[in-house]
Structure 1
Amino acid sequence: MSNIPETPYGQYEFFLKNSSDHLFPASVELGCRDWNDNRGRHTDCRILMKWANGEIECMDWHFFGALKLIRRQLALQDIYPICYGANRNIIVTGMALEMGLGLKVYKAKIGSYPTRHDLVRIFATGEDVEPVTVEIQEEFQRQWVESINRNQGMG
């Protein structure tokens, strides 16, 4: 794998917020390696996040997963990225992970399906971003799935 060249996937800038609501700039650099061998297809998506007081690098098979790994480490310091990938009310779909390498998620509301207009980049930001822990975000996704299943049962 080390001989597989990494494809750059861009750099993004946004802010981090600490428990005192202090904002400070951060940046991420994205790279991806994709290869096939006798065991099948493999993908390593790497994120290097840097800010004035540190840096964290994580890898997963999609960028959203790598961001979650970084967010878990940041949360130990009470630091949260202000971007849609760390937002409370988002859902991620299998198609977004597999076809888009987890670079986009849907802004969602309990009980309704998001549309393509709700699709946002994980490192984009907006006034509606509410950064939360990975666990709170995953709980929202579970609640959203339950609400959709309940609504389907009513038809």
Structure 2
Amino acid sequence: MDSVEIFIIKEGKRQTARLLCDTEMLTIKFVLENGYSKVYSGDDFYECLGLIRKEHSDLTFLCKGAKINVHPSSMSSQMSQGVKAYELTLGKYALRSDIVSIFDYEENNLTNDPQIQKEFFLRWVETDIPEI
């Protein structure tokens, strides 16, 4: 089981949260400083993190996995169990250099609603990309 610490904002104060990632069961145990914990399961860790964020909409998650334009491809999901995803830009192809860890620190363009990320991804897919 891998343990990852991320920053969150709770009641206006920055805190750390621990994510205990079980690669065999594809679960994340979400643990707050006050002792609260709950286990979330999904098809990959990106989905688990989305479930955590959705249920805890009162918290701000300061990580790439909460950024509006971050979404895994099906291959990155399979190969990294959803830990690696693309930071997408409308009108541009996704490159290897756009791959990020969903647990890396981020403080801009965040959402707790996985549906908003899905909608951005669908807009990105539908956007015409100019030929090089």
TM, length-normalised to structure 2 = 0.86
Deviation at 1:21, TM superposition (A): 4.2
Query: SS at 2:56's partner residue?
Result: helix
* CA offset digits 1:42-86 (Å, max 9, x no partner): xx30101111242221011211111111111111xx212111111
Gapped regions of structure 2 (runs ≥ 5): none
Gapped regions of structure 1 (runs ≥ 5): 1-7, 34-43
Q: How far apart, in 1, do the equivalents of 2:71 and 2:77 lie?
A: 11
Identity percentage of aligned residues: 27
Contact 2:7 2:61 in 1 (8 A): yes
Q: Does 1:136 align with 2:120?
A: no
Q: Larger relative contact order (C-alpha < 8 A, sep ≥ 6)?
A: 2
Match of 1:25 among 16, 28, 48: 16
Q: Does 1:47 align with 2:28?
A: yes
Give the paired residue count. Answer: 130
TM, length-normalised to structure 1 = 0.74
Contact 2:7 2:105 in 1 (8 A): no
The amino acid of 2:43's aligned partner reads W
Contact 2:93 2:129 in 1 (8 A): no
Q: How far apart, in 1, do the equivalents of 2:41 and 2:73 lie?
A: 19
Q: How far apart, in 2, do the equivalents of 1:126 and 1:80 lie?
A: 11
